[in-house]
Amino acid sequence: MSDDEPDGDAQPEDRATIEPTMTDQPDETDEQRAEPSRTDEGRDLRRTLNYVLLAGLSLVALIATLQLYFNVSSAINQWISHEYRSLFQAAFNLTVLLLVGSAMVWQVRRLRE
């Protein structure tokens, strides 16, 4: 600026070179706008498939766990004498309960991430 112009009084032609206008910004094309939604759709689809897979695996695990539970109970009834059966059943039930509880806590933490 020259000495005869006061500070802060820029001429209109000076403002055009200093301040960018809205037309100076490049416009987003349709492809650029659609790309984040494709990414979001892919992420949503992947998340849905993960939940479906988790549900299927949970069903298989539930069936296998029930079969294991009943077979172990039958083995306890067959191999353990009558006076100790309730103790072994309680220990087995407590073990199953602790395993299921820790798995549920782990899964809830995983889903919150």
What is this structure's pTM? 0.48
Q: Are 48 and 64 in contact (CB under 8 A)?
A: no
Cα 81 to Cα 96: distance, rounded to the nearest angstrom: 22
Cα 83 to Cα 81: distance, rounded to the nearest angstrom: 6
| pLDDT value, residue 71 | 93
pLDDT, tens digit (0-9, with 9 covering 90-100), for 49-63 = 888 888 898 899 889
pLDDT, tens digit (0-9, with 9 covering 90-100), for 23-74 = 555 555 555 555 556 778 888 888 888 888 888 988 998 898 899 889 999 9
> CA 78 → CA 69, 72, 73, 85, distances in Å?
14, 10, 9, 9
